[in-house]
Structure 1
Amino acid sequence: MILTVDHVTKYAYDVPMGAAVQSLRLFPSRFEGQREIEWLVTIENGIRGGSFRDGAGDKVEGWSVRPPVDEVVVTVRGKIETFDTSGVLRGHRELVHPMAYLRETSATWVDDGLAKLAEEVTQGLSEPLQKAHRLSAAIGEAIAYTPDVTDAHTTAAEALAQGQGVCQDHAHALIAAARSIDLPARYVSGYLLASEDGAPHEAAHAWAEIWVQGIGWIGFDAANSCCPDERYIRLGSGLDAREAAPIRGVAQGGGEERLDVTVALGQVQQ
C-alpha cells in the first residue's frame, strides 16, 4: 500500500518570543514494514541543525528559529510504501537492550488495578506471545475509546480506573500491564489510515510494542484490537508518550502558546 502524509503543526504566540528550538522525531522508521518514497520535514523560517539516530534506531533532527518568533510551523509531507508484517518489527536496527523497557515512568506506573488485570487475564498462559495478545484484548475492552475525557498528563492507572480514553491511554495501559508481568513494552508514535474509502483524514496515532523472546518487538494497537499492518506508518518509540513525542521543543519568552495540529493520511491507488 502507498500512503501519503500531510502533517502541519503550528505553535502561535500572543507576544513574540526570543527564540525557539525544536527536536523532531518525524521520520519514518527503517524496517521491513515500510519504504520511504518521498519525505520532507521543514520548519518555516527555521534553521536545520544536526541529526542522529538514537539508541532505539529513531532519527532525531534539531531545528532553531531566529527571533522574533511569532509562530513556529512544522510541516511534514511524504509518501511511504507499507507492507503487512503482522506487527513484527523485522529489520529494525537499534542498540537499546529490550530489558531497558521494563522501567516505569510517571505515565505508566502500575497500580493495583493494572496489576490485577494483567495477572487475571494471563493466568494459566505460559507463552509470552499469548500473554501479549490477551493483554491487548483486555485493555481494549477495559478502556472505551472516548475523545476529550483524558489529556496529555493522564496516567495509565487513571485511564483504566475511569474506563475511557484515547489511543495514548490504551498504549500506556497496555505498556504498564505488560511490564507488570515482566514483558518489556514501549510506546510508538505514527500514523494510521483509518477511513475505509482511503480519503485523507485525521490520522496521528499511537500504539504499543511488546518484546517477545524469539520473535522480537511486536506492535499491538489495543484501541483498534489489532496488530499494526499496512495501514500504519511507524515514526518512533520511547518509554511513554512524552519520550516518543514526534515534536519536542522550547521557546524563550513569557508569551502564551496556542497549538494547532492537522494530520491527513491518504492512500494512493495502485
Structure 2
Amino acid sequence: MRLKITHETSYSYDTPVEALVQSLRLTPSSHEGQRVGDWRITVAGGQRGAAFRDGAGDWIEGWTVRGPIDLVSVTIDGLVETRDTAGVLRGHRESVNPMVYLRQTAVTKPDDALRDLAKSIQGQDALDLAHKLCAAIGDTIEYMPGVTQSQTSAAQAMEQRQGVCQDHAHALIACARLRGMPARYVSGYLHSSMDGKPHDAAHAWAEIHVGPLGWVGFDAANACCPDERYVRLGSGYDAQDAAPVRGMAFGIGTESMDVRVHVEEVQQ
C-alpha cells in the first residue's frame, strides 16, 4: 500500500514568545514493513539543528525558531510504501536491549485491577499470551474519545473502562510488563478508510517483545496487529517518551495547539 501523509501541528501564543526549541520524532524509519519515500519536514521560520538516530532506531531532529513568535507551524508531507508483516517488526535497526522496557512509568504503573487482569490471562506460549492480553484490554476498555487526557494513566482508564488508543496501549504495556514481557509505546499513523479520501489518522499502539520473533505490534483499540494500513513513527516507554513533538517555548505567552493529520492511499 502506498500512503500519503500530511501532518500539521500549529502553535499559537496570546503573547509573543522569544524563541521555540523543539525535538521532532517525525521521520519514519524504513524496515521490512515500510519503505519511506519522499519525506519533508517544514518548520515555519525555523532553523534545523542537530539530527541523530537514537538507540531505539528513531530519527530525531532539533529545530529552533527565533522570535518574537505568535504562530508557528510544523508540517509533514510524505510518502510511505507499506506491507503486512503480521505485526512483526523486522529489519528495524536498534541497539537498546529489550529488557529496559520492563520498567514501568507513572502512566503504566499497574493498580490491583490491572494486576488481576494480567494474572487471569493464560496463554500456550508468549505470543498467545500477548494476543490474549491485547484482546482482554480491548474488551475491558471501551473506545470513547474525549473521556481521557494526555496525562491519564492506564489505571485510571481501567477504572472508568473507557479511553482512546493511548489508554489501550498504556494498559496493554502495563499488563505485558507484569507478565515479564518487555513492552513499549508506538506512535504513528493509520489509514482508517478505504474510500480513497483523507481522514484524521494519528494513532498509537503497543509493541511486545515475544521471544525469537522480537518486537510484535498489538493494537488493542482495533483488535488487531498492525498491517499495511499502519505507518510506524517512533517508540518509547509511554506516550510522553514517544511523543512526535517535544519542545520548550521561552516567554510568558500561553500556548494553544492545533493538530491535523490525514492519511490517504495513492496509486502505485
Q: Output the TM-score relative to the length of structure 1.
A: 0.98
2:248 aligned partner, one-letter code: V
Q: Does residue 102 of structure 1 match 2:102?
A: yes
From 111, 128, 131, give the equivalent of 1:130: 128
Deviation at 1:269, TM superposition (A): 2.6
For residue 178 of structure 1, what is the amino acid of its counterpart? A
Q: Structure 1 residue 196: deviation in Å?
A: 2.6
| Structure 2 CA distance for aligned equivalents of residues 214 and 164 of structure 1 | 34
DSSP 3-state at the match of 1:170:
helix
Residue 115 of structure 2 aligns with which residue?
115
Q: Specify the alignment match of 2:60 in structure 1.
A: 60
For 2:81, the equivalent position in structure 1 comes to 81
Q: Return the offset for 1:29.
A: 1.8
Structure 1 residue 233: deviation in Å? 0.3
List per-residue Cα deviations over 1:102-151 (Å, max 9, x = no partner).
001001001111111011022xx341001000000000000000000000
Match of 2:149 in 1: 151
One-letter code of the match for 1:205? H
Give the C-alpha shift of residue 36 in structure 1: 1.1
Q: Which segment drifts farther, 170-179 or 64-73?
A: 64-73
Name structure 1 gaps, 5 residues minimum.
Answer: none
* Match runs of 1:1-270 below 5 Å: 1-122=1-122, 125-270=123-268
Q: Which 10-residue stretch deviates more, 147-156 or 66-75?
A: 66-75
Whole-angstrom distance in 2 between the partners of 1:195 and 1:82 = 15
Please list every run of at least 4 consecutive aligned residues from structure 1 whose deviation after the TM superposition is greater than 6 angstroms: none
The one-letter code matched in structure 1 to 2:19 is A
Q: C-alpha separation between the residues in 1 aligned to 2:31 and 2:124?
A: 29
What is the CA-CA distance between 1:30 and the residue it aligns to?
2.2
Partner SS for 2:13: strand
Amino acid at match of 1:185: A
TM norm structure 2: 0.99
User: Matches of 1:52 and 1:220 in 2, distance apart?
Assistant: 27
C-alpha RMSD of matched pairs (Å): 0.7
Q: CA deviation at 1:170?
A: 0.3
Equivalences, count: 268
Structure 1 Cα separation of the partners of residues 106 and 155 of structure 2: 10
Map Cα deviations across residues 77-117 of structure 1 (whole Å, 9 max, x no partner): 01110010000000001011000000010010011111110
